[in-house]
Chains A and B, each alone.
Chain A
């Protein structure tokens, strides 16, 4: 698309309009978007076309439209985080990543659906209804960033931003056949990202190709003085790494397969695609070693103590006083501030959010802090040590991104624990802050649905995931005879 814009084959207005048309045609069925800003996007597109015709120096992605997960604040555009409690809130400022998109001239198509406050693995916990997987509308698109993944997979947007706290970019990427990247913690500013769990959250790209992700990552990444946890070091050359990877030579590269994240209990079709991918990497000269990360089995439990603890504190600000929903309790003559807060939070928060607030409040409370939160932080350190030991043996680590392909909508809604298992393979990276990418690895034989492979690298070595990811993508493209997404059902035909 960037190429077509550059050589004048198309214009940003035409591209943006085409995507808006596609949204109008299919989003009724997919429900990837919570809010579409046709007017704003077209205005930004027109401005981009003007810049281009004036011969101004442009970012490579100038004029390419993008969708943004609704957890990132956008000045003048509604931001709900998939929650009723923020219904109608229009932020007065832009997240740093959004400001960078705007500065580079990317028209913003709208805000994408998500699990409420990014809590979930299926986008069924959105207060505004679930998103459907474009491969099979009866199935989940992954979560919590199912909206962004589905928007890209259904050709409603060429690029999207997601956020990944325990796998919310990579896992939806795997089940929708798209590329999703969780950058190194601190590599992309979190300023303006409504925090789920601050020490785990990371903004990242959702795209159709590895190169697109690299371009988008370089655009949004880098130090932000407004985020004190953002790394004040230059980003590695991600686009260069993706281009080198696409040339296909991986000689001298050591890839480690994580024993604990592949094997029994994983869907056979997912494992089959994974094994094939590893073989392809070997074919390009990579050496495979098996590594063991024994503490990863505790990652899920650790995550479900740290995340709710931080979330319970973050969500305290939604008190009905200054923005968003305000519900007056019934049958109370002159309600106190506490009465209003109670009624609002009862009506405004969904079950999953309430579940985690209670869990987090408990984990932090005096008398339980050491047993739960404190203990979880210790295990977190052990997981980081496992990574260090593994990266001493291999340049990158591999696993399937998710244990299964997309399950049916509603199938696991009443079983939170089984839902949580979907993020088993992705969570360790968030606990340690290392970067990871999910690249489509093909369709599982059982159900014909997409599976993904996850490539992890040491912190700040994001270029490695792009190099290996692009190499694998190129090899798979040859094997499939075209992009995987082209094998997806034509939605307009099926509606």
Chain B
């Protein structure tokens, strides 16, 4: 086993990476894929179930029309062809939390196929080809009780919650992405990030990676440089943040190279991503000969979306993300670098939403990329999951614009927001953060500062206005930062001229 990873530059000197991404999106339909049970996250175990999603003998599935609509819209947004006629198939295998011991999925007849997405990787557009997007149902969830790890090994017993069983999923599969070289991990990250933005824009899923609404499997293989022969791949399952997608690809490239350099061969298997250590561990061995005994699901009639309907749905698509990005960059007046940083931080949609709430674009960018990005990083979450909404950011900036607080005080408002202390206005009031513009109080503080710093005062009287900074600083300190710096400067100069 390769304990020592190969240095990344050395990987690239010897090998070409091939990347493939499979992303599962849980749709936000009101009901499940094949029954009328509510399709919502959480709930007491096994309360959102019926004979169909429990797979009871005799129960039958009926396709959720809204899920088909979402699938078509995703397919169209990914520039796919939409099948005129397609079917569901049974994927037969035994799995503890799969009630029928087969999954109703699509096999050789997916609803959408042959598409692409142009992905912005640090300003460079990379075309990722989409092989297919197909519909299927989610499984239940196992809870292993006892033992120390919460995993099945060592557990005393296992419980299964079928609330999630039957929630509609769309699986989006790319063709192998070749030629990305050193940027393969960045492409993986940017693809998942942009795909998620698209899903959010389509409104078809909550797309929360931390809750498993959107799960990425990262396939990776290496081939000897220039050989053009695809190597054996591993599939790192259920990676749940952009950063982890990038790190998983990076790690697997270095791990594969170590094995190959030692003359070993890669085992075709699934891998589990370990967030803490930034490594992957072995999962299930998986060969191409996995025999799922697919055959058309006889309980479901074929899905044959009319061309009129598809065209109608085409009309509901949001603007193409690449086009939209160029348009908004121009509207916002961002430099290429500013734009790249915004996208790279996963803040594009947040900035957009904040601007839509009335905030100036530069201010929105500043808050998300500095203050909020720092806090998200400290908490180890994506900034979208930090718990501050675009509307709140816009409200904070509105307070700055009104002169109620300055940037420094605004940071304390964010403290209050994250602590759930109410609206920005309420936090300013409760914490007493508003800037003091009472002339009497300011005047007294200015007089006090002049008295305490006679040398500085003399310099200003001599015409060296630049020295005013020291007095302003003293006033701000006295006022605990809650003074209007511009007004303080005016008062200082008034008194000393």
| A, B from the same assembly | yes
Instruction: Using CB atoms and an 8 Å cutoff, list the residues of chain A in contact with chain B.
Output: 72-73, 79, 81, 86, 89, 91-93, 95, 190-195, 197-199, 225-229, 309-310, 312-313, 316-317, 319, 321-323, 337-338, 341, 361, 364-366, 369, 373
A residues in contact with B299, CB < 8 Å? 190, 195, 198, 227-229
Q: Are A194 and B58 in contact (CB under 8 A)?
A: yes
The docked-state distance in angstroms from the alpha carbon of A229 to that of B99 is: 22
Q: Given B55, B58, B100, B301, which contacts A191 in the complex, CB threshold below 8 Å? A: B58
The SS class assigned to the B binding surface is loop
A residues in contact with B51, CB < 8 Å? 91-93
Q: Given A192, A310, A322, A341, which contacts B58 in the complex, CB threshold below 8 Å? A: A192
The docked-state distance in angstroms from the alpha carbon of A312 to that of B90 is: 12
Q: Are A322 and B99 in contact (CB under 8 A)?
A: yes
The docked-state distance in angstroms from the alpha carbon of A57 to that of B75 is: 52
A residues in contact with B294, CB < 8 Å? 364
Instruction: Give the shortest distance, in Å, between A332 (CB) and chain B (any CB).
Output: 16
Given known contacts A93-B51, A198-B299, A364-B295, A226 and B101 CB-to-CB distance under 8 angstroms: no
Q: Are A337 and B96 in contact (CB under 8 A)?
A: yes
The docked-state distance in angstroms from the alpha carbon of A228 to that of B293 is: 23
Given known contacts A199-B298, A228-B300, A317-B100, A95 and B58 CB-to-CB distance under 8 angstroms: yes
- Is B289's beta carbon under 8 Å from chain A? yes
The docked-state distance in angstroms from the alpha carbon of A227 to that of B102 is: 19
Q: How many residue pairs at the A-B interface have CB separations less than 8 Å?
A: 95
- Is B62's beta carbon under 8 Å from chain A? yes
The docked-state distance in angstroms from the alpha carbon of A363 to that of B348 is: 52
Number of interface residues of B (CB under 8 A): 28
Given known contacts A228-B62, A228-B63, A337-B96, A317 and B57 CB-to-CB distance under 8 angstroms: yes
Q: Are B100 and A229 in contact (CB under 8 A)?
A: no
The docked-state distance in angstroms from the alpha carbon of A136 to that of B475 is: 113
B residues in contact with A93, CB < 8 Å? 51, 56, 58-59
Q: Are A194 and B57 in contact (CB under 8 A)?
A: yes
* Minimum CB distance partner of B61 in chain A: A228
Q: Which of B53-94 contact A (CB under 8 A)?
A: 54-63, 90, 92, 94
Q: Are A191 and B60 in contact (CB under 8 A)?
A: yes
* Minimum CB distance partner of B52 in chain A: A226
What would 15 more interface pairs be, CB under 8 Å, given A194-B58, A198-B299, A365-B291?
A: A79-B57, A193-B58, A195-B299, A226-B60, A229-B300, A229-B301, A313-B295, A317-B55, A317-B57, A317-B101, A322-B99, A337-B96, A364-B294, A365-B293, A369-B293
Q: Are B57 and A73 in contact (CB under 8 A)?
A: yes
Q: Are A313 and B102 in contact (CB under 8 A)?
A: yes
A residues in contact with B59, CB < 8 Å? 93, 191-192
Q: Are A86 and B92 in contact (CB under 8 A)?
A: no
16 residue pairs A–B, Cβ–Cβ below 8 Å? A79-B57, A91-B51, A93-B58, A93-B59, A95-B58, A190-B299, A192-B59, A195-B299, A227-B299, A313-B102, A313-B293, A316-B94, A322-B99, A361-B293, A364-B294, A366-B289
A residues in contact with B295, CB < 8 Å? 309-310, 313, 364, 369, 373
Given known contacts A86-B57, A93-B51, A319 and B293 CB-to-CB distance under 8 angstroms: no
